[in-house]
């Protein structure tokens, strides 16, 4: 039978499994986008979403995957940013009306310059040149793109080209693009060195970044814009801002909006969603690293009890909005960062009601043992509603007790007053 421990506190969390309810209930009719999502990388939670798993044309958000693979090759030592390659005829697949660096066959260019052109200029010729260099040809690289998407758990995604051209079978979702953006930031933070650049010039061709929020909000540092007639105007946006939480001095959020009607609209929608999330949610600690949360009996081990100790601090995103109606984004003042209904400002609440229930997934442990096990599950409730399950894994290493130690443990069970005494050294006569 599983054992339970309940904790009541104003706490919070990080690793996520299944979400029962949105952290922020936003009326989708008040958000002028075909699909969108707000994602918190610290907690792993989706804070709010609409049509986030709908398969849509991602346009140039596709290029985030090209950057991901390129940076992965660099990290593996297969490429260097300083490597010089010679552009070839693959650039001719790019049509005159497409975004490009205006590469010509025979021109020399570095991997670093191609990455900058890919991200800042959204250059399709940079995308196909990198694809051919890494994959050998475009079909092999596209296969690699789909392989990496599968590995990242991007279940709503299938790629047919590296540039983001609208084609049958080329699709993704707001949720998947948020997942890809998170992977880029976590694994290759130097991507942000490209995505935060506001302009780039190469070979006499200048281009200003189409993410206009880079100049409007100093906390914004990426991720990627995209547009085709089929896709509409897309934006994967991220920012990192300071907090008042000593356990998490800075907090990053990712917002993806798809299918807006203009570059100004995609920026406004994404920025308002992000500002709302920053002001009406916060990340709080559920469990601190190295802090015991339970113990399990050990059979035949040198120790009779095993402490269940999370190895990492776990956060949970909690809502600071407690009104009984869904949030109307048209009522959000982007300058003040507050919701205003009928002239009344809705301030974020100070205290939250969170309950943590610890379920032990093992009755006991038997030595010897050297294995990673899910020892416990944390069930997180907020305002009486289940929010999240958090798995607690441990690398369990238990040595088998000697015959003498096992005898002493047996004796201690018969004579309880011995239980707190260490086993005496075995005496050889």
Catalytic residue set: 60, 63, 122
Quote the CA–CA distance of 75 and 330 in Å, as a whole number.
44
Going from the C-alpha of 275 to that of each of 254, 278, 294, the distances in angstroms are: 11, 5, 38
Quote the CA–CA distance of 59 and 227 in Å, as a whole number.
5
Going from the C-alpha of 309 to that of each of 6, 256, 380, 393, 408, the distances in angstroms are: 16, 35, 18, 9, 27
Q: Which helix (H) or strand (E) holds 349?
A: none
Q: Which of 327, 285, 371 is nearest to 14 (CA)?
A: 285
Strand 250-260: give its sheet, edge to edge.
45-50, 35-40, 250-260, 232-242, 220-228
Contacts of 429 by beta carbon, 8 Å cutoff, 6+ apart: none
For residue 428, how many C-alpha atoms fall within 13 Å in the half-sphere facing its CB?
Answer: 0
Q: Which of 305, 302, 298, 296 is nearest to 405 (CA)?
A: 302
Quote the CA–CA distance of 37 and 50 in Å, as a whole number.
6
Helices (H), 159-306: 174-187, 191-195, 213-216, 263-280
On whether the CB atoms of residues 281 and 319 are closer than 8 A, the answer is yes
Compute the C-alpha angle 30/33/38, nearest 5°.
85
Quote the CA–CA distance of 299 and 313 in Å, as a whole number.
29
Contacts of 131 by beta carbon, 8 Å cutoff, 6+ apart: 66, 90, 138, 141, 142, 162
On whether the CB atoms of residues 110 and 116 are closer than 8 A, the answer is no
Token pair belonging to 127:
């995308």
Quote the CA–CA distance of 196 and 219 in Å, as a whole number.
10
Q: Which helix (H) or strand (E) holds 74?
A: helix 63-75
């Amino acid at each position: 039978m599983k054992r339970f421990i309940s904790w009541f506190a104003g706490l919070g969390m990080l690793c996520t499994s299944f979400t029962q309810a949105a952290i922020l209930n936003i009326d989708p009719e008040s958000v002028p986008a075909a699909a969108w999502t707000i994602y918190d990388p610290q907690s792993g939670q989706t804070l709010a979403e609409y049509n986030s798993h709908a398969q849509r044309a991602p346009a140039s958000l596709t290029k985030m995957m090209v950057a991901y693979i390129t940076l992965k090759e660099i990290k593996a030592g297969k490429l260097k940013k300083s490597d010089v390659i010679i552009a070839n005829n693959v650039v001719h697949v790019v049509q005159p009306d497409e975004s490009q660096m205006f590469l010509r066959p025979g021109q020399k260019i570095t991997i670093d310059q191609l990455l900058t052109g890919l991200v800042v200029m959204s250059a399709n010729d940079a995308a196909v040149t990198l694809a051919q260099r890494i994959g050998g040809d475009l079909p092999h690289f596209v296969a690699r793109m789909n392989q990496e998407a599968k590995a990242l758990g991007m279940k709503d995604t299938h790629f047919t080209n590296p540039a983001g051209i609208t084609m049958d079978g080329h699709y993704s979702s707001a949720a998947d693009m948020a997942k890809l953006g998170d992977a880029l930031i976590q694994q290759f933070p130097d991507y942000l060195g490209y995505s935060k650049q506001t302009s780039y010039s190469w070979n006499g061709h200048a281009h200003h970044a189409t993410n206009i929020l880079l100049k409007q909000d100093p906390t914004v540092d990426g991720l990627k814009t995209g547009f085709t007639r089929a896709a509409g105007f897309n934006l994967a946006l991220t920012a990192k801002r300071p907090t008042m939480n000593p356990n998490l001095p800075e907090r990053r959020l990712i917002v993806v909006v798809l299918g807006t009607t203009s570059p100004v609209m995609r920026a406004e929608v994404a920025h308002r969603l992000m500002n709302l999330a920053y002001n009406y949610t916060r990340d709080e600690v559920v469990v601190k690293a190295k802090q015991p949360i339970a113990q399990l009996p050990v059979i035949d081990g040198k120790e009779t009890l095993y402490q269940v100790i999370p190895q990492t601090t776990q956060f949970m995103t909690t809502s600071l909005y407690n009104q009984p109606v869904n949030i109307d984004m048209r009522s959000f003042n982007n300058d003040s960062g507050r919701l205003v209904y009928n002239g009344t400002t809705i301030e974020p609440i100070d205290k939250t009601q969170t309950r943590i229930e610890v379920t032990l997934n093992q009755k006991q442990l038997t030595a010897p043992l050297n294995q990673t096990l899910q020892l416990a599950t944390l069930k997180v409730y907020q305002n009486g509603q289940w929010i999240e399950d958090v798995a607690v894994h441990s690398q369990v290493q238990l040595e088998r007790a000697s015959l003498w130690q096992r005898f002493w443990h047996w004796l201690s069970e018969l004579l309880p007053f011995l239980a707190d005494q260490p086993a005496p050294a075995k005496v050889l006569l």
